Amino acid sequence: MANSRVEGEGERDGQHGVQSLEVGMRVLRAMVEGRRAMMLKDIAAAAGMPASKAHRYLVSLIRAGLVQQDPGTSRYDLGPFALHAGLVALDRLDRIRLGLDALAALRDRINETCALAIWSERGPVIVRWERPRRAITVNVVTGVQLNLLNSAAGQVFAAWLPRARVAPLLAEELRTLDLPPSLRRRADVDRLLEQIREEGVAALSAGYFAPGVEAAAAPVFNFKGDISMALVVVAVAGATDMGPRSAAIEALRAAAGQLSQRLGWRQPAASPEPEPSPSEPTPS
């Protein structure tokens, strides 16, 4: 009977988990999503618990190395073991493999030609593309080097890479490419890139990239908030709705956002309200 009772308890534990650990992770998650060293009251509010309860969990998290406290400001931040665990996780993360998985899933969802682009010193490069199940498709060449201004992926990288990094390439393309009249000055380019950042997607109408072809691309960000890759959708003009709120574009946005999250990116938090300068006393 004793053994039977122990096994039953073990099964219940396996089903329900360890509640105290889950509560502790709420505290830790609140600190991660806070994106800065935080006061006790802010951690407690974000975790949805009284400050006294949050403090007890913080004490245990400090002992485990997951949290540390600055004695001068009383603020809490992630500890050395949390940083080590994050670095190990990043080291094990294969961004291209995750990108290829997301690429195939996007193709299955919208049944259009989809491609994955990464950055090289001379601009974006297509590293993989997936063919849709259609009689008429657009083929994309793996390894092809894209320009910044006349490709959707190029515009996405130009919009989110540091300005100094893309400025020489943009200047060269403005001199050498046959661009539409609306995109022949650097001021025109800057307005376009600002619009792309606001909308989160670069879209090219038919004939802009190639005759009879429409294309769109969305950025994929890493844990630092830097652009890491671009997901691209290419379609035969008129065969698919590629409007700003179309199902294909919304699926592209969603796929890029989900892949970004898998790479550790988090939506930037709103700017915090100014806090009073006196340090908050720590409950005993």
pTM score, whole prediction? 0.65
Place of tokens 């993360």: 93
Cβ proximity of 234 and 112 under 8 Å: yes
Place of tokens 């999250």: 261
Would you put residue 74 in left (φ > 0), alpha (ψ -120 to 50) or beta? left
* Domain segments of the chain as ranges: 2-89, 95-262
Query: What is the per-residue DSSP string for 203-232?
Result: EE-TTTSSTTEEEEEEEEE-TTS-EEEEEE
C-alpha of 94 from chain center: 14
Instruction: Look at the domain 95-262 and name its fold.
Output: Beta-Lactamase (3.30.450)
Sign, CA dihedral 235-239-245-250, equals: negative
Query: Pick from 258, 257, 237: which is nearest to 112 by CA?
Result: 237
Tens of pLDDT, residue by residue, the chain (284 residues)? 344 343 344 444 445 667 888 888 899 988 888 878 899 999 999 999 999 999 999 999 999 999 999 888 999 998 888 877 776 766 566 888 899 999 999 999 999 999 999 998 778 999 889 988 877 677 777 888 899 999 999 999 999 999 999 999 999 999 999 888 888 899 999 999 999 999 999 998 755 556 678 899 999 999 889 999 999 999 888 788 888 889 999 999 999 999 999 888 887 655 445 444 444 444 44
User: Domain 2-89's class?
Assistant: mainly alpha
